Every structure is written in structure tokens, then in C-alpha cells.
């Protein structure tokens, strides 16, 4: 028997020795398949933490890499959006070139026409016009539209009544 063999069991049972072993990294033992190698090599008998531990804080390099990837993705999305937009000549917006009023809903019907029960478009096809055609608001307001006679058409729409769709203005006839 060697002189230190008598002291080994007492040293292995001490708290100081256990504390020194508790925080040792497992090294290659954590990558071994179960059942291979010796019990000492696989970490059996040591009180290693089990289960998912606290989340590891990302390093400065990882945070910077993630930030650069997000910035690159935003730049690619901006380029795709820019490429999908149509280019229009200087001085004209897309709505002006397409002839839109802006919101896509068409012009707003003036209050006097609404108060008299009029509308802004034809509901169905009639003599000389089709369904859902614009009606000239100026023709139906006092003062009229000098663009065309009753029953005609100007750049703003048909010259018909906004209420009964006949060939007269809405003012004074209803």
C-alpha cells in the first residue's frame, strides 16, 4: 500500500475537491455515443449540468454579422420595390399619366347634385351611352358646361341628367 492511498478516499469526499471537478468542461466526452468508452472518459459519475442551460449571450461578432445580414436584406427588399415601380416622365406623377383622380375612386359628386338625388356615373346602358360611364357635373350645375350640348359628351363625361339619365340637366327639371 502506498502512502497516499489512505488519504485518497478522504480527499475524494471533500467539498473542495468536488467543487474543482464540478465546473470542468466535458471536452470530447459530450460528443461520444452512449455506451462507448469508459465511465471516466464519458463523464459518468460527475455532476455535469443536465438539460438546456441559460441562453448563451451572442458575441460581438455574431451581433455585428446579424446586423449586417438584416441591413443587406432590407437593401435587397428596397431594390425589389424600386424595380417594381414604374418610371414616369419628369413633371408627371403616375396618377396623372394614367388619368386617375388620385384615389382610384373617381371624382366626388358635388353636394348640390347629391342633394337633388343625383349620382356620378350611369348605372346601366342607355341610348347613346354604356354602363358605368361618368356624368359631367358642370352640365348638371347652374351655369352649365360649354363643352357640348345636352345629350352630348365632353372631356368630363356625358351631358345627361344625374338623376333620371335623360338629355337635360338636373337643375330646374326635378
How does pLDDT run across 14-34, given as a tens digit for each residue? 888 888 777 666 655 555 555
The answer to whether position 142 is within a domain reads yes
The answer to whether position 92 is within a domain reads no
Determine the pLDDT at residue 87.
58
| Phi, psi values for residue 46, rounded to 5° | -90, 150
How does pLDDT run across 164-173, given as a tens digit for each residue? 888 888 876 6
The answer to whether position 81 is within a domain reads no
- Please check the confidence at residue 40 and state whether its pLDDT lies above 90: no
- Please check the confidence at residue 120 and state whether its pLDDT lies above 80: yes
**Contact between 156 and 147 (Cβ < 8 Å):** yes
How does pLDDT run across 41-81, given as a tens digit for each residue? 444 445 555 556 678 888 999 999 999 999 999 999 988 88
The parent domain of residue 128 ranges over 123-174
The answer to whether position 93 is within a domain reads no
How far from chain centre, in Å, is Cα 57? 30
Amino acid at each position: 500500500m502506498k502512502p497516499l492511498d489512505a488519504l485518497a478516499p478522504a480527499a475524494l469526499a471533500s467539498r473542495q475537491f468536488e467543487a474543482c471537478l464540478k465546473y470542468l468542461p466535458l471536452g470530447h466526452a459530450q460528443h461520444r455515443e452512449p455506451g462507448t468508452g469508459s465511465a471516466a472518459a464519458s463523464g459518468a459519475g460527475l455532476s455535469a449540468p443536465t438539460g438546456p442551460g441559460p441562453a448563451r449571450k451572442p458575441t460581438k461578432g455574431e451581433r455585428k454579422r446579424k446586423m449586417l445580414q438584416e441591413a443587406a436584406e432590407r437593401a435587397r427588399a428596397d431594390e425589389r420595390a424600386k424595380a417594381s415601380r414604374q418610371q414616369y416622365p419628369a413633371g408627371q406623377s403616375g396618377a396623372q399619366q394614367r388619368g386617375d383622380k388620385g384615389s382610384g375612386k373617381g371624382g366626388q359628386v358635388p353636394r348640390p347634385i347629391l342633394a337633388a338625388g343625383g349620382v356620378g356615373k350611369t348605372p346601366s346602358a342607355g341610348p347613346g351611352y354604356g354602363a358605368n360611364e361618368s356624368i359631367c357635373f358642370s352640365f348638371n350645375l347652374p351655369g352649365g358646361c360649354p363643352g357640348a350640348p345636352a345629350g352630348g359628351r365632353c372631356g368630363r363625361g356625358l351631358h345627361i341628367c344625374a338623376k333620371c339619365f335623360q338629355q337635360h340637366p338636373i337643375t330646374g327639371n326635378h
